[in-house]
Amino acid sequence: MAQAALGSAGLHFDELNKLRVLDPDVAQQTAQLREECKAFVDSECCAPGRAEGRSASIRVALTAPNAQIVEFQKTVGSLIELVDQLAKAAESEKMKAIGARNLLKSIAKQREAQEQQLQALIAEKKMQLERYRIEYETLCKIEADQNEFIDQFIFQK
């Protein structure tokens, strides 16, 4: 029960019953990774006992790669290729989106221009209607005057 309470607080006992902040499994994995990294570095580029400097040991490692480095290079190469393909696809989609946005803007501008043309046509037709209305009223007045003249002429005879 005490271990559970300490475990919930982030404290653990190791195999020597020492109190640790890090979980024993995580500590073991960390130590294993440290050993693998040390073995990789020692076997590839910085092996002890070599008289050359660090750059020379790297040069040796680059000229005579082992299977791990070749596999790593292949993995990195395929990852770079995949990222390049994704970048090209993203760029293509970006260009499509920009094209679609520009098309929508041009359609909106065309509609706006068409709306302005129709508004001008409506204004022109309203003016023409007003002219016709005035002409109609004038003609009605002339007709009434002429009818009155005819009536007066007939009554005089």
Please give the span between the terminal C-alpha atoms of the chain, in angstroms, as a whole number: 136
CA 20 to chain centre: 46
The 8-class DSSP code of residue 115 comes to H
Digit-coded pLDDT (tens) for 39-51? 877 775 554 444 4
d(CA 97, CA 130): 49
* Phi, psi values for residue 19, rounded to 5°: -75, 125
d(CA 104, CA 155): 75
Digit-coded pLDDT (tens) for 10-58? 777 777 777 777 777 888 888 898 888 888 777 755 544 444 444 444 4
Contact call for residues 51 and 60 (beta carbons, < 8 A): no
